[in-house]
Structure 1
């Protein structure tokens, strides 16, 4: 079978990794790269760096990856849809709900695979966690709490921390528990003098009744990527920077120390840190996108799902502006 002819728009901090992985994935041939800003990381190799999306489409593509700033996603994606090119767009899907909706409609109308790069779904710790939750190892799920903190990335200029980072946590939370957000209440802060927020806290509930808390900022001197899912039988803790998953089981040994047992909801049980294969999430994501284009069932994040995540994030920003909780249709 012929390899899929792939094009890449954008070779910045994220695009350079897409270029590397596209060259490694079986069944995919990277045939074109475009970036109006040139090739700052020298990833073009033997390929000339083209000036824009139109020149990239002219190369003749089956699939494309869009890794330019968010405000340019819609224009590029609509041109690719019109050209009949299956497309993976980096998260968030678009700069606005209206733009994202136009993208979803264009790819649906053209019968093309449109996907969004919510890479955390492909993190080995979260994939392992979801499988174990589905197998009943946690019992009923009660709560999901995420922390995504770190220093400000100077390369992000067109969106705030909510769309750039919190979108990861909104997507992974709904995916892990298999239930969409139903209502959110959020607070934001603007501490770095920029137009956009650099801190957000989202509290919410999914349609299945799971309580949610997402803590996200660009103001922390340490980098943290942690997801804690608490349920009937204990708690899973996933560190997506290391790909580690740990299970803290509810204890079955009675606590005889009265001053301790009086305030514990459950007793401490065994702690298990799982060993499993850890593949690079970006490579797994590209394989899922390739397989979806080939007509196979995969966990690729569809544009409709990416749009849903953007709607939740926009609802959180509205809540922060108004001081009221917001229901999500």
Structure 2
């Protein structure tokens, strides 16, 4: 098996984790790193810290990971596409739909594998949840609700909570259900003195009518990452902080207590917490990307394709537009 030469641009909080995983992958050698701001976490090791994506391409790399701030994603990704480099771009793919569309087109025209780092897809709890939904364990899906809140991360300076955090929920909701967003209605708030929103509440409708609800903020002292999927057979709850998946089934035992028996609806049934393997999501993501690169196909290994990343950016922009207009906005993906 040929060793693939890897490059990494962006050596900040996420970049240091990407460097660690790249160095641990069999069949990959991290040969070049770049960051115009230097190496604050000392991840370069013996490697020289390059200054640009052009220098990264000149190092004759086969694949690259882009972990720079969102506003630089388009410039860096287009440079790597022009250099013939298979690329994984941290989420979101770009700060706006037009930038994301240009990136998608560049990689498709070049015949390169392009992926987006929506890490939640590789969380063990959500992977197990998706498999169980595909197998029909929940029956018809009625609603997907997510809560993602915690303190403000100092690493974020160029986007608000919608494009940084809520894009996780947008992507995972479409992925676990296998359905695209049709429309969204949202409200945002600005409470921390920054130019970007730090709180959003969004209601959505998927193409099959499934209702979605997303509560996301940077204003809570507690950290929460929960996805709840309700359907005709019960409810799945995935906690992606602990990678736990729990199923609350609808009751099947007749209720004899008269006051409760008159309630027309479901009742409580068995509760099952599944024992599932818990590999590191970032390792799983990199392994899938590597498999796709070796296969020469973005569809081969279950990676988040750039077209899927484009769709997520389109939904995020619709959320922001809805909050600004105070009305429901249809999602249009170019």
- Report what 1:55 is aligned to: 55
- Report what 2:127 is aligned to: 127
- Report what 1:108 is aligned to: 108
State TM-score, norm by structure 2: 0.97
**What is the alpha-carbon distance in structure 1 between the residues aligned to residue 4 and residue 248 of structure 2?**
44
Q: Which runs of 5+ in 1 are unaligned?
A: none
2:327 aligns to what SS in structure 1? coil
2:6 aligns to what SS in structure 1? strand
1:292 aligns to what SS in structure 2? helix
Q: 1:50 to 1:201 in 2, by over 3 A?
A: same
Q: Deviations over 1:72-97 (max 9, x none)?
A: 00000000000000000000000111
**What is the alpha-carbon distance in structure 1 between the residues aligned to residue 328 and residue 27 of structure 2?**
47
**What is the alpha-carbon distance in structure 2 between the residues aligned to residue 29 and residue 264 of structure 1?**
61
Asked if 1:327 corresponds to 2:330, the answer is yes
Aligned with residue 317 of structure 2, among 309, 314, 317: 314
Count of residues in Structure 1 that have an aligned counterpart in Structure 2: 329
1:143 aligns to what SS in structure 2? strand
User: How far off its partner does 1:258 sit?
Assistant: 2.9
Asked if 1:301 corresponds to 2:304, the answer is yes
User: How far off its partner does 1:294 sit?
Assistant: 1.1
- Report what 1:196 is aligned to: 196
- Report what 1:162 is aligned to: 162
Residues 275-286 of structure 1 aligned to structure 2 (within 5 Å): 275-286=275-286
User: How far off its partner does 1:317 sit?
Assistant: 0.4
2:303 aligns to what SS in structure 1? coil
**What is the alpha-carbon distance in structure 2 between the residues aligned to residue 236 and residue 3 of structure 1?**
41
- Report what 1:25 is aligned to: 25
Q: Deviations over 1:197-242 (max 9, x none)?
A: 0000110110011110011000011000000000110000000011
Asked if 1:64 corresponds to 2:64, the answer is yes
- Report what 2:237 is aligned to: 237
Q: Which runs of 5+ in 2 are unaligned?
A: none
2:304 aligns to what SS in structure 1? coil
**What is the alpha-carbon distance in structure 2 between the residues aligned to residue 114 and residue 263 of structure 1?**
52
- Report what 1:82 is aligned to: 82
- Report what 1:255 is aligned to: 255
Q: Deviations over 1:266-318 (max 9, x none)?
A: 11000000001110000000011111111161110011000000000100100
Q: Is the contact between residue 144 and residue 173 of structure 1 (CA under 8 Å) also seen in structure 2?
A: yes
Q: Deviations over 1:47-93 (max 9, x none)?
A: 11112212111111100000000000000000000000000000000
RMSD of aligned alpha carbons: 1.0
**What is the alpha-carbon distance in structure 2 between the residues aligned to residue 60 and residue 150 of structure 1?**
40
- Report what 1:143 is aligned to: 143
Q: Is the contact between residue 254 and residue 267 of structure 1 (CA under 8 Å) also seen in structure 2?
A: no
